[in-house]
Amino acid sequence: MARRDEPTAETMPTLTPAAFHILLALASGERHGYGIMQDVATLTEGRMRLGPGTLYRSIGRLLDDGLIAEAEERPDPALDDERRRYYRLTEQGRRAASTEAARLATLVRAAEARQLLDGPGARTAPEVAR
């Protein structure tokens, strides 16, 4: 049972696409901002690219909301730029990402049921008039 102050699936707000992608990137381990940007581009096969403004504005909100935290341990400055900040996913962030993934999976199932996705029997999107 969730504590009173912890968000539940019903009370947790929907994450922005940028926030969800950042949480997803951090689910596999700590990363610095540029590393997050690269991972998001890789995970989305280049369909989503986070610019620095969107990235750091989203990171600020995620930090404020307790969904991510700045990593306590830093790489050796001789091996990395000491100005870089590394971020990690918190337990609350992991729950938020999991809740959002479940919400999106429900939407994908609805799209499949309405034959909106490519595949046998799927409807194709109408041509857009130019």
Buried b (16+ CB within 10 A) or exposed e, 55-88: beebbebbeebebbbebeeeeeeeeeeeeeebbe
- Shortest CA distance to 16 belongs to which of 66, 50, 52, 45? 50
* pLDDT (0 to 100) of residue 14: 79
Question: For residue 31, what are the β-bridge partners?
Answer: 87
Distance CA 23, CA 15 (A): 10
Distances (CA, A) of 87 to 4, 29, 30, 102: 27, 9, 5, 24
- In a 10 Å sphere around its CB, with 0-12 CB exposed, 13-18 middle and 19+ buried, how is residue 12 labelled? middle
Task: Give pLDDT, residue 130.
Answer: 34
Q: What is the pLDDT of residues 3-56, one digit of tens each?
A: 555 555 566 777 999 999 999 999 999 999 999 999 999 999 999 999 999 999
The overall average pLDDT reported for the chain is 84
According to the model, what pLDDT value does residue 117 have? 81
Mean pLDDT lowest among 44-48, 61-65, 115-119:
115-119
